[in-house]
Amino acid sequence: MAPSLPALFSLEGRTAVVTGGTRGIGAHMAISLAEAGADIVLIQRDESNTTTKTAIEALGRTATIITCDLSSASSVAAVTPKILASHDPSILLNCAGIQRRHPAALFPDADWDLVLQTNLSTVFTLCRDIGTHMLTRPGPQRGNIINIASLLSFQGGLTVPAYAAAKGGVAQLTKALSNEWAGKGVNVNAVAPGYIATEMNDALIADEARAASILARIPAGRWGKPEDFGGVVVWLAGGASA
């Protein structure tokens, strides 16, 4: 018998690993996964920000913080064994990201390396390592990976070449992993937000001329909000998207 419609969107009994869950889109997505029934492992730089953890626990779900510096390759390589020591994740949400703005002719190597490590290499490492675990889980639906790409995966943007390159890489990485793993029970998808009113875009919002030009190109007539992403992440994490 086919699952009922509510069951297709239920995440009861599942564990989700979330990066970037302390604020913005990532925080709302993490809480939405918990609202659908998942327990959450929050990957954070430190344990000082407990806002999302507290919100998840208020829903009656378990929230665990595991610390990791996502800009450090060695720290990222060490985090999956810590997760698997006490959790069986079947959902991975890669939402963490940073931004550095400079004219391309003046873009520093150090900022390029930092953005590419945090926004692309870390995404690959976590997909590979947690995805490898998912492939060992009982089927047929072994796991769901959701990567946060960007409008700039497809449009280059202005003064953000490292961010655009990294997010373009996330889009192609998602396709490559999906090609390999979809037939093995691990679904890999990406969400590509446009212009969202979060802290990362404060500089754009403060630039009245640039903000007006952006708004003029948005059919909805408004900037996006973190709340816009709850439904899609629950859908992509569950059986409804299989």
Backbone φ and ψ of 201, nearest 5°: -105, 15
Selected catalytic residue, list 9, 163, 181, 223: 163
- Tokens standing for 92? 């991975």
Cα separations in angstroms, 107 against 15, 102, 113 = 39, 5, 11
Torsion region of 141: left, alpha or beta (phi above 0 gives left; psi -120 to 50 gives alpha): beta
Task: Residue 28: count other Cβ atoms within 10 Å of its Cβ.
Answer: 22
Determine how β-strand 39-44 pairs with β-strand 15-19.
Answer: parallel
CA dist., res. 128 & res. 197, Å (int)? 31
Place of tokens 């997010």: 167
The answer to whether 38 touches 14, Cβ cutoff 8 Å, is yes
Tell me whether residue 110 is exposed, middle or buried, using C-beta atoms within 10 angstroms of its C-beta: 0 to 12, 13 to 18, 19 or more.
Answer: exposed
Whether 163 sits among the annotated catalytic residues: the reply is yes
Active site residue ranges: 163
